[in-house]
Structure formats: C-alpha cells, structure tokens
C-alpha cells in the first residue's frame, strides 16, 4: 500500500495531530521499525521509560497504539505512516508478523467475520407511543412554521437584509423543540445566503417557498410514492433506523472516495464522504456526525478506493448510504474515466427534480472543463462553450486556477442552486482536494 | 416569471398580488382555486415556479479568455517540503517559513501549484518577504499575479509603479531615488523644477535622497536650500553640504582640522623616536564654522566644549582627505588617532566617519579599541575579522552578536563559537526570545547535538534550567528538521 503525504494528512483527526505525527516521522524517534505485507509496526520513544507500541493494519487500514491518546489515529500511528512514506528503507522487512501484531490483526479479522450485535429494540407498543407523540409534535410544529412563512411573505422580505441572521432564529428553535430537525436545517440554510450580494431576493424566496412546499407535501404524504415519502420524512427530520437500512440489499463495488468534507456548526461536525462506484457508476454519500471532541471513526483515503457493499437509504433517487460489512480500504489511486459536460449535468438535474422536487444537491463529475473568471464572477466552461457559475469561495477558485494552470480539468463537485461547487479534481495524474 | 415572483415577495402579498406567468397559468389557477389564503397560493406557486424553471435550465454560453500558464522551467519541491511549508504558513512559524523559502530559492525549485496562492497571499501580508517568495512561485506565480489585481502589486518592480507626476509621496520618493542612481543631474533638475511647490516635509525627504550620488554639482542647489523657510529643510541641506567633499563648508572643516592636528616625532626613552598625533585642544572654532550646525556645548561628560566642537569635525571629513593632506599612510594615521590620549572622546565621531565614508580600515581600528562594539562597523570588515571580533563580544554583547550572526545567509556557526553561545544562554536563558532560539538552531552545527541533548534531558527544578531545557528540546527539533530536508 503506497500512501501520499496528503492522504495521511487527511487521516489525521485534526491539524495538531498531523503536525505532531510529522514531527515523529524521524528515524531516531523509533526504536523499532518493521514492515510486513499486512502491517507496519514500531516502538516509539515517548516521555516515559516504556516506548509506545504502534501498529498500522495495511490490508484494511487501521491503527493501534499503546499510548493514552484518545485521538484516532494518534500521532504515533500517523508518524509511523509518515516515516514509511518518507523513507521506507529504514523499515526492516519481516516475513512474519510479530506476536502482538499478529494477535491484533487476527482479532480484527475475526471481528470482521462475526455478525454485528443487534441493537436492543424497544417493544412495539412503546415504540408506537413514541412515534405518535412525535408525530403530534411535528404536525404542530409544521402548522406553526406555515404560519410564520405566511407572515413573512405577507409583510414582504424587503427588510430581511437589515437583520438577516436573527429573523429566523425563533422559528428554528421552535422546529428543534417540535422534533422537526430537518426543517430547522432547511431554515438554517437561509443564513448562508449572502444578503450583501445581488440575487439574495431570489435565493430567499426560493428557500422560503421550498420549505412551504415541503410542509404541504408532508401534510399530503399519503398520496405520494413510497420512496418520495421517505425523502420528505427525512427532510422534515425523521430518521430511518440504520438496522432497517442495513437489512436491505446492497450494491457491491469498488467505491472511489471522491471527496471528504467537514462542516462544523454549534459543536456538531458533519462529515460528508462522497463516493462513486467504479463498476456501477453510482454516486453515494456517507454522512457522519461528530459531537464536541469526537473524531472521525474511519480511515478512508481521499482519491483512493474502498471495496465493499453499500446499502442506500430509501429514496426516490438514492444517494445517502452506509457500508454494510467491514470494507477493504485501498490507497491505490484511481481517476474516473468519464466525459460529461454541463448540458448533461443539467439534464441530470432535470431528471432528479422530476423524481424528487426537493433534490437540492446533485453530485457530478465534469470532464473536460475549464475554470475562468469574467466581470468578477468565477465560471466553469466545457468544450461546447456552455458555462455555469462556480460556487467555490474566491480563495478556492484561485487555488483551482493555480492547480489547472488554465488547462482543462477533470473534477468532481456538487450542483446546487444553479451553480457548481468543485470539491476535488484530477490534474496531471494527481488527486487534489479543493474543500 | 421570476421578476413577478420576486416583486411580490419583496413587497409582500398585501401590497403586490401574485401575477402568474402564462407558462404556469393552468397550475396557478388550480392553486388559487384551492388556496387557504393569498400567502398560501403565493408560496405554492413560487415553489413550483422555481422547480419548473430549474428543471428546464439551459446553460449560458461563454469562452475562457485566460491563456494557459507557461511551463515551469524549474523543478518542483518534494511533497515533504511542501508539507513543512504549509505547516509553517498555518502555524505562522516565520523562522521555519523563511528558512524553507531560502532553501527552495537556493535549490532553484518551485512550490507546487496548490500552495502558490497561499504564498502570494503571504507576500501581500509581508511585503518585505515578497522578493524572496516570488521566485519560489515560479512561472505560475507570475501568471497568477498578472490576473489578480492584489497579487499584481507584489510582482511589479518598485520603479514600474513609481511616477513623479502622478504618484503619491512614497512612489515619487522611489522614482527620484531610482533616477538619482542612474542619472544624478537629471534627478536634481527634476527636483528643482517642482521644489517650491512641495511642502516642507516632502522637501526634507527629497533632499535626504540626494545623498545618493552626491557631488559638487549639487552644492549650488543645496546652498540655496540653506535659505529655506523650513528649519528641517535647512538642516537636511546642511548635513549634505557638511559631508560633500570639496564643498565650501566641508573645505572649511578640513582646513581647520589641518590647522589643529599635527603628526610629529617624539623621543622616547631618550633613544627611540615615535610618531604621535598632536591635537591642539585649546584652539577655538571660528564662528564661520560654528554656524554650520556644529554643537557648541559638549554633550559628553568631562569633555571640554572646545574639544567637543573640534571632534565633531572628524565626523564630516573623509579620512582619506586628511591622510593625503598630512602626507601619511592610512594605517599610520588611524593608529595614531586611536592611540591618542583622548581617542575615547573622538571615538563616536570617528565611528560616524567610518560608517559615512565606508572606511574598512578605520572601522577595524575603532573596533580594536576598548568598548567599541558597533554592529554597523562590523559590516564594513571582512568575514574573518568579523568572526574574530564577534567571538570576543559573546560575553558582553550576546544579543547583538546573535543579531549579526543569524543573518539571512543561514551559515553554520563554528563549533567553538556555537558552544560558547549555548553555554552563555544556558546561564541566562531569558535574555533572548523563543524565535531567536529557533533561528539559532538553524545555524548550529550537528556537533552540538549532544550538548543540547544533555540540556534537554536536564531534570533540574530551577526555573531557568527548565526553561533552557525546553528551548534545547525545541532547538533539537529544528536541527533534526533542517538536517532531514532534502530539497
């Protein structure tokens, strides 16, 4: 398995760990450095007398260390991997795993093969009561939300930019109380509108009317197709139990990790892992949430692949997914060989909206396209001369232009609100993360 | 369609009723037929209309007018160095950042594309570093600078932006300085043409710039400036006239000095003869000289006013002129000056002369005197001589010595000198700040690692030792990092 510095950096739970890890990528820090087809292991001299024993599972990337750090992977695991990437010749090649390494690897294999423990499910009656109680709360909340939306539109939105970040705070809090977290999130998206830039009027009206239509759909949910019902319930804030999803049939493929993004709001980090099936040519999105100091619980490598079975959450246009069984993480670099232009992207948007009018994010690979700017606006243009506004921030746009040097690019991004946001691109056989 | 929706949304359904588009008339009438109220109808119609519009969105057309960037002629830094560069930028570790940029320039390598925008932003933040950062940005940096108005400023040479007619004061100063270097007469004439229209502060600044390429041709203009209304303008002009060789004022200084100093032979131990410098300290400076800005009252403790006035003249006269007039050798004259019984009193003025007229030999002689440490004088002498002096100054002037040693050439210190510095710092570790330790580490030879390790592992409880132990550990990290860089 060959890693790049950027890939290892992305594995770090935070910048400090990555930096500390690089500080440990020094030969002299490691009393023992061994490599085997299946694992890397080493003893790192810390501040105590006994060195920390660090292992990296190379077959299915994972870390283990005897240090007391709660971070995963810890700086020693990262340091060992950095050192191996930087200078593999200092590792002694072993034909057999050391006993403690073999024990850990065996345990991992056994665990992977055993079936996951089933969660304790409350009895049906209690569950039913809970659902009914929540339904009532949500219905009451929706009624309040519709009232609020009507009030806003009756008086007009012209004065909203005077107080753009406060005008929806009470109704957001009300939706949280009503256990309609999805609606609260829809309302929060209003705060992402740039009220200092022309165009806010359309963006705000669009979002307000979209939320209203969503509440209308929820009120008439029984008349909709089953898959669309799931989409609407999810957008309102209902969760589909993981067990339920895992019980459905999966899609086996080698999944290319297109991009991993992390957003933080109110002490909650939302991680989005965008995947693309090399055989099935399907996109998938894995959502992870971390609270407070929680860090990522996976070792996926951007630009690399994951071999495994994905199960999609029920949806008219399935996108959100989960891995069904333990997966095989590969750092082998892959470039999607797709030629798609902007017209094809917009056709796809059309299809998605016809299936689910609330589809707001469409993942797509555009190739070949160029990035340029005109009249202070950043644009993406394809070979047919069709353009779309680029939704990245200015710093990211300059980075994209620098990486591509004005040449064509092969990039993955998200279509949203009539613009495209590039999250990653492949240039000169190299993967580049933009987010 | 959109305009009507937005108009209603802006003013409110109370003031502006919904106007349906002909495309969606059928839907609109169905919505209105089942509406709860006007707002319900508007929100449903708007939501539907936006989805309808986005479903049939046709892309606009355009062409990229950006030309491709030229290929790099230099090789790219390896990914490890890039990561250190990024770390240094993120952690605002200026010491490491400067060092990595220095090494990259030295190795004639360029940063990878993704880092170049960050480096250009850094060059904007710290304009003083722009000259060093730009080469590391390569062709890509030039290309990006040509398109980004902010970055464009750093890539343009100073003289390119400077303009005498329309520039601001700083730009005009840059322009005049550049012209003065190329064509001193033209610069002077340009200044004379606009001089009266400038305010006093600007006039002073422009006169100060005439020190570059100063010649007798400037005397007439400078003499006129002595009649300026502004005291500061007069002082600036007078300062130049005092140092201008063969000017009326400078000549009067030389002539007076030659009247009061004499090299004569004195008999020693009855047999030996020795040359000595005799200065007539009782000679009074005539008023015609005193009027040229010579301080009348001594500001030095224990120095007689007459001698103080006379000593000031040494600061303005080029030593070579006196040497020639006294028909002696530089070496001998400087020796006699520095051996004079009142040489200590002359020292500050001789230092001024050595610096002003860039006299290496005089600088060396002054530095050989007791208590003569002056970092600027050290810049005038050879590297070898400098190191010998610095070695002597470690005990008393450690901070200044470090300031000189740790220059932007990143040369390794000699083992002995480095060891003395470390030992000195170990005794009084708080005399320098942490960045100095980091910078020092980059100049320490690997032969000092054991000494540093001993300090780093020192478990002493004394707060000074603990502090130095931490600094030693930091220095070890920097040394390891430096030695691992394979650019």
Is ipTM > 0.95 here? no
Is the CB of A302 inside 8 Å of chain B's CB atoms? no
CB within 8 Å: B58 and A346: yes
Q: Which of B5, B46, B61 sits opposite A387 (nearest CB)?
A: B61
CB within 8 Å: A212 and B44: yes
CB within 8 Å: B9 and A372: no
Q: How confident is the model at residue A46 (pLDDT cuts 50, 70, 90)?
A: confident
Given this model, what pLDDT does residue B161 score?
57
Tens digit of pLDDT for each residue in A270-317? 999 999 999 999 999 999 998 876 767 778 889 999 999 999 999 999
What is the DSSP-derived secondary structure letter of residue B369?
S
Report the gap between the CA of A27 and the closest CA in chain B (Å): 10
Which of A26, A209, A422 is most worth mutating to test chain B (most B CB atoms within 10 A of its CB)? A209
* Closest to B314 in 3D by CA, of B286, B346, B287: B346
Given this model, what pLDDT does residue A121 score?
62
CB within 8 Å: A150 and B65: no
Is the CB of B149 inside 8 Å of chain A's CB atoms? no
Residues of chain B with pLDDT under 70: 157-162, 270
Is the CB of B170 inside 8 Å of chain A's CB atoms? no
Report the gap between the CA of B3 and the closest CA in chain A (Å): 9
Tens digit of pLDDT for each residue in A243-270? 899 999 999 999 999 999 988 887 788 9
Query: Residue A431 pLDDT more than 60?
Result: yes
Please give the residue of chain B at the shortest CA–CA distance from A82.
Answer: B80
Q: Counting beta carbons within 10 angstroms of the beta carbon of residue B129, is it exposed (0 to 12), middle (13 to 18) or buried (19 or more)?
A: middle
Beta bridge pairs of residue B109: B75
Please give the residue of chain A at the shortest CA–CA distance from B149.
Answer: A376
- Compute how many other C-beta atoms are within 10 angstroms of the C-beta atom of residue A124: 8
C-alpha distances in Å from residue A310, one per residue of A274, A429, B377: 12, 27, 74
What is the DSSP-derived secondary structure letter of residue B57?
-
Is the CB of A292 inside 8 Å of chain B's CB atoms? no
Q: Which of B14, B62, B114 sits opposite A379 (nearest CB)?
A: B62
What's the whole-number mean pLDDT along residues A225-238? 94
**CA–CA gap between residue A422 and residue A424 (Å, rounded):** 6
Report the gap between the CA of B81 and the closest CA in chain A (Å): 10
Omega cis (within 30) before B10: no
CB within 8 Å: A386 and B65: no
Which of B4, B37, B62, B70 is most worth mutating to test chain A (most A CB atoms within 10 A of its CB)? B62
Please give the residue of chain B at the shortest CA–CA distance from A157.
Answer: B10
Is the CB of A215 inside 8 Å of chain B's CB atoms? no
**CA–CA gap between residue A203 and residue B480 (Å, rounded):** 54
Contact between A365 and A334 under an 8 Å Cβ cutoff? The reply is: no
Please give the residue of chain B at the shortest CA–CA distance from A152.
Answer: B12
Given this model, what pLDDT does residue B219 score?
95
Instruction: Give the long-range contacts of residues B129-136, CB within 8 A, separation 24 or more.
Output: B129/B98, B129/B101, B130/B154, B132/B98, B132/B101, B132/B102, B132/B105, B133/B101, B135/B105, B135/B110, B136/B77, B136/B101, B136/B104, B136/B105, B136/B109, B136/B110, B136/B111
Q: Which chain A residues are Cβ-neighbours of B57 within 8 angstroms?
A: 346, 349-350, 418
Q: Which of A9, A156, A353 sits opposite B15 (nearest CB)?
A: A156
Q: Number of A:B CB contacts under 8 A?
A: 159
Q: What percent of chain A has pLDDT over 90?
A: 63
Tens digit of pLDDT for each residue in B401-459? 999 999 888 999 999 999 999 999 999 999 999 999 999 999 999 999 999 989 988 87
Please give the residue of chain B at the shortest CA–CA distance from A433.
Answer: B114
Residues within 8 A of B (CB atoms), A 318-377 only: 342-343, 346, 349-350, 353-354, 357, 370-374
Element holding A365 (H helix, E strand): strand A362-374
Q: Which of B87, B117, B143 sits opposite A19 (nearest CB)?
A: B87
What are chain A's domains? 5-113 (no CATH), 124-236 (no CATH), 242-330 (2.40.50), 342-433 (2.40.50)
């Amino acid at each position: 398995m060959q890693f790049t510095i950027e890939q290892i950096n992305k594995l770090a739970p935070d910048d400090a760990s990555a930096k500390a890890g690089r500080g440990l990528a020094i030969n002299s820090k490691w009393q023992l450095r061994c490599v085997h087809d299946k694992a890397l292991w080493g003893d790192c001299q810390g501040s105590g007398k006994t060195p920390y024993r660090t292992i990296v599972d190379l077959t299915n990337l994972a870390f283990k260390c005897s240090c007391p750090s709660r971070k995963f992977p810890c700086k020693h695991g990262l340091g060992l991997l950095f050192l191996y990437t930087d200078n593999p010749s200092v590792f002694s090649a072993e034909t057999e795993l050391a006993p403690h390494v073999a024990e850990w690897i065996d345990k991992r294999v056994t665990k992977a093969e055993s079936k996951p423990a089933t969660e304790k499910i409350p009895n049906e009656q209690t569950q039913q009561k809970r659902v009914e109680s929540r339904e009532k709360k949500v219905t009451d909340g929706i009624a309040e939300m519709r009232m609020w939306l009507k009030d806003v539109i009756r008086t007009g939105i012209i004065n909203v930019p005077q107080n753009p970040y406060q005008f929806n705070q009470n109704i957001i809090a009300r939706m949280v109380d009503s256990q309609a977290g999805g609606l609260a999130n829809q309302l929060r998206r209003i705060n992402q509108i740039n009220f200092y830039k022309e165009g806010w009027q359309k963006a705000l009206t669009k979002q307000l009317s979209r939320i209203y239509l969503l509440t209308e759909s929820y009120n008439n949910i029984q008349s909709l197709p089953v898959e669309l019902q799931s989409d609407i319930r999810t957008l309102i804030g209902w969760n589909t139990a993981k067990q339920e999803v895992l019980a459905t049939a999966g899609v086996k493929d080698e999944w290319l990790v297109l991009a991993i993004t992390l957003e933080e709001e109110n002490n909650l980090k939302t991680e989005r892992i965008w995947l693309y099936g090399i055989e099935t040519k399907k996109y998938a999105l894995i959502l992870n949430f971390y609270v407070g100091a929680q860090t990522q619980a996976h070792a996926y490598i951007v630009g690399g692949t994951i071999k495994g079975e994905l199960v999609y959450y029920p949806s008219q246009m399935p996108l959100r997914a989960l891995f069904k069984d333990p997966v095989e993480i590969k750092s082998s670099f892959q470039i999607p060989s797709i030629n798609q232009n902007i017209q094809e992207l917009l056709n796809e948007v059309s299809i998605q909206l016809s299936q689910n009018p609330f589809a707001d994010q469409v993942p797509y690979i555009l190739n070949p396209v160029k990035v340029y700017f005109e009249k202070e606006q950043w644009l993406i243009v394809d070979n047919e001369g069709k353009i779309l506004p680029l939704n990245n921030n200015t710093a990211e746009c300059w980075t994209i232009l620098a990486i591509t040097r004005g040449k064509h690019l092969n990039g993955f991004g998200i279509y949203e609100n009539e613009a495209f946001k590039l999250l990653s691109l492949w240039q000169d056989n190299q993967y580049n993360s933009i987010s | 369609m959109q305009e009507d929706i937005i108009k209603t949304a802006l003013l409110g359904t109370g003031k502006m009723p919904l106007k349906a588009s002909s495309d969606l008339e059928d839907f609109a009438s169905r919505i209105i037929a089942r509406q709860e109220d006007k707002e319900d109808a508007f929100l449903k119609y708007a939501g539907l209309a936006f989805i309808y519009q986005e479903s049939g969105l046709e892309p606009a057309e355009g062409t990229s007018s950006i030309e491709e960037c030229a290929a790099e002629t230099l090789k790219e830094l390896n990914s490890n160095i890039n990561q250190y560069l990024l770390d240094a930028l993120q952690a605002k570790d200026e010491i490491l950042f400067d060092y990595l940029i220095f090494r990259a320039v030295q190795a004639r390598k360029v940063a990878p594309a993704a880092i170049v925008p960050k480096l250009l932003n850094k060059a904007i933040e710290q304009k003083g570093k722009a000259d060093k950062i730009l080469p590391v940005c390569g062709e890509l940096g030039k290309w990006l600078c040509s398109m980004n108005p902010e970055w464009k400023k750093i890539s343009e040479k100073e003289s390119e932006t400077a303009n005498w007619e329309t520039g601001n004061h700083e730009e005009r100063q840059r322009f005049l300085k550049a012209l003065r270097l190329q064509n001193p007469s033209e610069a002077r004439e340009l200044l004379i043409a606009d001089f009266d229209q400038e305010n006093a502060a600007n006039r002073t600044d422009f006169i100060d710039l005439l020190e570059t390429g100063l010649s007798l041709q400037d005397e007439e203009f400078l003499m006129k400036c002595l009649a300026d209304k502004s005291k500061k303008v007069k002082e600036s002009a007078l300062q130049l006239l005092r140092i201008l060789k063969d000017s009326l004022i400078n000549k009067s200084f030389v002539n007076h000095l030659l009247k009061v100093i004499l090299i004569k032979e004195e008999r020693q131990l009855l047999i030996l003869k020795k040359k000595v410098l005799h200065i007539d300290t009782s000679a009074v400076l005539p008023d015609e000289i005193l009027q040229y800005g010579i301080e009348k009252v001594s500001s030095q403790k224990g120095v007689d006013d007459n001698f103080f006035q006379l000593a000031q003249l040494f600061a303005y006269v080029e030593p070579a002129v006196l040497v020639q007039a006294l028909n002696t050798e530089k070496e001998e004259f400087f020796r006699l000056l520095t051996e004079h019984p009142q040489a200590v009193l002359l020292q500050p003025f001789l230092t001024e002369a050595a610096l002003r007229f860039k006299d290496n030999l005089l600088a060396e002689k002054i530095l050989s005197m007791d208590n003569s440490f002056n970092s600027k004088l050290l810049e005038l002498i050879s590297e070898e001589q400098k190191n010998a002096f610095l070695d002597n100054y470690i005990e008393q002037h450690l901070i200044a010595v470090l300031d000189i040693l740790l220059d932007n050439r990143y040369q390794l210190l000699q083992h002995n000198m480095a060891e003395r510095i470390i030992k000195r710092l170990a005794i009084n570790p708080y005399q320098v700040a942490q960045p100095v330790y980091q910078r020092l580490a980059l100049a320490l030879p690997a032969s000092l690692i054991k000494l540093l390790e001993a300090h780093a592992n020192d478990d002493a409880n004394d707060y000074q030792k603990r502090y130095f132990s931490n600094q030693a550990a930091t220095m070890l990290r920097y040394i390891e990092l430096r030695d691992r860089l394979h650019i």
